[in-house]
Structure 1
Amino acid sequence: MATYAIGDVQGCYDELRALLDRLEFDPEHDVLWCVGDLVNRGPNSLAVLRFFKALGEQAQVVLGNHDLHLLALAAGNDHHREKDGLHDVLTAPDRDELLNWLRHRPLLFTDVRKQFTLVHAGLAPQWDLAQAHSCANEVEQVLRDPDNYQAFLCALYGNEPQQWHDDLQGMDRLRFIVNCLTRLRYCTANGKLLLKEKGPLGSQSSQALPWFRVPQRGTQHDRIIFGHWSTLGYLAENNVWALDSGCLWGGQLTAVRVRRKKRIRVTQIDCVSHLIPDTHHSE
């Protein structure tokens, strides 16, 4: 049995299946992890959702910002409606089943046996792994609450607060957690989120650090796989692996075989379903 982790798919279903064919992925025995952003902007978000849902326990998916965007649209939050390629999902006959499945995905996952953690974007430098899981669980409980998730999704968007404090409460607390786990790229040395910084390494302002290079961050000894940062591309350093290599923007779809003690093996395929690249690969 093999475990594979793949980067942001964003509706690129043909590339997903081609990559899994190259890996000789066997859904009867193998396990597939994804760092989130299953949907949005690509040509076939509906097929991607159906594929991962059908894998059942053989799949482990964490939520990305585009997945939350889909859930927010379905809940009535039109604030960031755009040409997002989600119409087919929202009008599908199995829409409710798919969205309910998506709403119950975690924001953070750790495989204790393999000693790897999966997150879409990043972790606040102040958090250790236990606190990160506790914070993720707070949001997950709201998302899974049939009486409260819609109100939460309708108040989701915003860049504030920028700094973590243990005494944050209410929507400010939940929004900060979501922004870390699904949108974070750069922050300051003291953990202030810089969510408008989106470019490749070297393009950032002088105060901005990639979240995984903040000195003495609380998860520096934990092995973390993440996505979200298409202008970063595939990167492996100091216990972190970045898997979003910009498939949607004309790059590649990346997979790694996750093994506890052996060297990680990387497989990539080119994307043919891509959009025209922009300068910042917006969220």
Structure 2
Amino acid sequence: MAHYFVGDIQGCFAELQKLLLKVDFNPSKDTLWAVGDLVARGPDSLATLRFFQSLGDTGKVVLGNHDMHLLALHGKLKRNKPSDNLTPLLNAPDIESLISWLRLQPLMRELPEHNVIMTHAGVPPQWSLETLRQESQLVSQALQQADYLDALISKMYSDTAERWEPNAIGINRLRFCINALTRMRYLFVDGHLDFDCKQPPENCTNPQLRPWFDFASPLRESHTLVFGHWAALMGKVNSPKLKALDTGCCWGEYLTLWHLESDQKITQKRLKKS
């Protein structure tokens, strides 16, 4: 049995298929983990969601910011932009089933026997494993409520929840978790989230900003952290316990698969448009 972790697919389903062929992925014995952002920008978000839904327990997905945004689009809370290539998905006959499946996906997953944690953007350095579990579970519970659109999705877009406040309640607590686990790249030196800079660390000109993974963290010592979201990194990080898997396939670069057991990365260049 093998564990494969794939970076941000963003609708690049043909590239995903080629990657899985390269490693002879067998869903009857292997597990495919996805760091989120299954949809948007690439040409086939619909096939991507259908594929992961069909995998059942063989597919382990966490939600990314684009997946959360899809929930807002489906709920008519945001405008559908043509550049996201989501119209075929939103108009699909099985869209309700796909959305119901997506709402069941968490913001974090663990592989305890290997001390691996997967989120979309990373883990706040202030958080312990217990806090990560607790906060992500609160968001999952809110997503699975009948009023999730009004109570969560309509209110999650905010740059104000940039500080971890252990005593926060309600939507402010949920907002910070969503911001941190699906949008985080840099933190200010005092530990609060920055939402503007997307450059790789070597190009960041603000001396007050540091990558989230450069802060001391108990989880960095004990676990391998698998994440995507930050395409500008192109997989280049400063520790073997960090696996940055977003390598910009939807931007014309490549899709990356990490094979846990061999600690090898396999890549597939973005295919040319036919």
| TM-score, length-scaled by structure 2 | 0.94
* Equivalent residue number for residue 277 of structure 1: none
Contact kept? 1:235, 1:243, Cα under 8 Å? no
Give SS of 2:84's match: coil
Deviations 1:40-85 (A, max 9, x none): 0110000000001001110000000000010111122116856311
CA distance, structure 2, for counterparts of residue 115 and residue 136 of structure 1: 18
- For structure 2, the 5+ residue unaligned runs are none
11-20 or 82-91: bigger deviation? 82-91
CA distance, structure 2, for counterparts of residue 235 and residue 241 of structure 1: 9
How far 1:197 sits from its partner (Å)? 1.1
Counterpart of 1:247, as a letter, is C
66-75 or 200-209: bigger deviation? 200-209
Counterpart of 1:184, as a letter, is M
Distance 1:238 1:212, change over 3 A: farther
Contact kept? 1:73, 1:81, Cα under 8 Å? no
CA distance, structure 2, for counterparts of residue 84 and residue 106 of structure 1: 23
CA distance, structure 2, for counterparts of residue 54 and residue 108 of structure 1: 20
1:207 matched to 2:219? The reply is no
How far 1:147 sits from its partner (Å)? 2.8
CA distance, structure 2, for counterparts of residue 148 and residue 201 of structure 1: 36
How far 1:154 sits from its partner (Å)? 1.0
CA distance, structure 1, for counterparts of residue 264 and residue 105 of structure 2: 26
Distance 1:165 1:48, change over 3 A: same
Identity %: 39
* Equivalent residue number for residue 25 of structure 1: 25
| Pairing of 1:169-180 with structure 2 (within 5 A) | 169-180=169-180
- For structure 1, the 5+ residue unaligned runs are 275-283
Give SS of 1:235's match: coil
* Equivalent residue number for residue 228 of structure 1: 229
Counterpart of 1:250, as a letter, is G
Give SS of 1:163's match: coil
Runs of 4+ with deviation above 6 angstroms: none
Give SS of 2:114's match: coil
Aligned residues: 270
CA RMSD in angstroms comes to: 1.5
1:37 matched to 2:56? The reply is no
* Equivalent residue number for residue 266 of structure 2: 267
| Pairing of 1:110-189 with structure 2 (within 5 A) | 110-189=110-189
CA distance, structure 1, for counterparts of residue 47 and residue 80 of structure 2: 23
CA distance, structure 2, for counterparts of residue 224 and residue 149 of structure 1: 30
Contact kept? 1:224, 1:241, Cα under 8 Å? yes
* Equivalent residue number for residue 251 of structure 1: 253
Counterpart of 1:163, as a letter, is R
| Pairing of 1:67-146 with structure 2 (within 5 A) | 67-78=67-78, 81=81, 83-146=83-146
* Equivalent residue number for residue 193 of structure 1: 193
CA distance, structure 2, for counterparts of residue 159 and residue 146 of structure 1: 26
CA distance, structure 2, for counterparts of residue 63 and residue 152 of structure 1: 14
How far 1:33 sits from its partner (Å)? 0.2
